Amino acid sequence: MRIAVCPGSYDPITNGHVNIIERSARLFDKIIVLVSVNTSKQTLFSVEERAELVCLATRHIPNVEVDAFSGLLSEYARSKHAMALVKGLRATSDFEYEFQMAQINKSLNPKLETLLINSDARYTYISSSVMKELARMGGAFHDFVPKEVEKRLLERLAEQEGPPAQKGVVHLARTG
């Protein structure tokens, strides 16, 4: 069985992520979408919430499994008998980092290949960080994330920060 791991923080998952997962699922018998736990990152959603959102966003892809993990990716892949890691590239700026990580993972697990897939042109400018910022500022982001994510993101931001900022409204105080 050809198994690949598609790792990421997915905070939250975007349509760009889903596109990479869908395309990967056509190449492998099983894709494990791995929600990574990175203690140096402060996430908006817990690892359990991120995994749940990934499950909802990928439920239409029959050969996808979702998991969460904290530790060495190469060891996780070995434990799951994965032959490859799949990563999406939005821009050339992503390449250098992903190339270095691929080399490190290959040195730790020589049987593990890394497949870098170019983002669909519709999603090259989409990132989880940009989606969170758009939502915070009251911008339209519904075309860039799965419906479940849109709802949860707005709810979470409202819990933490109150309603989204009003677009283009600046209040100036008049002084003496």
Enzyme catalytic residues: 17, 41, 90, 128
Task: Locate the DSSP E strands across 49-170.
Answer: 64-69, 84-89, 113-118
DSSP 123: G
Rounded CA separation 8/68 (Å): 10
Helix axes 15-25, 47-58, angle to 10 degrees: 60
How is residue 157 written in tokens? 């931001």
DSSP H/E element including 8: strand 3-8
Give the distance from CA 174 to its chain's centroid. Answer: 45
Phi, psi of 73 (to 5 degrees): -60, -40
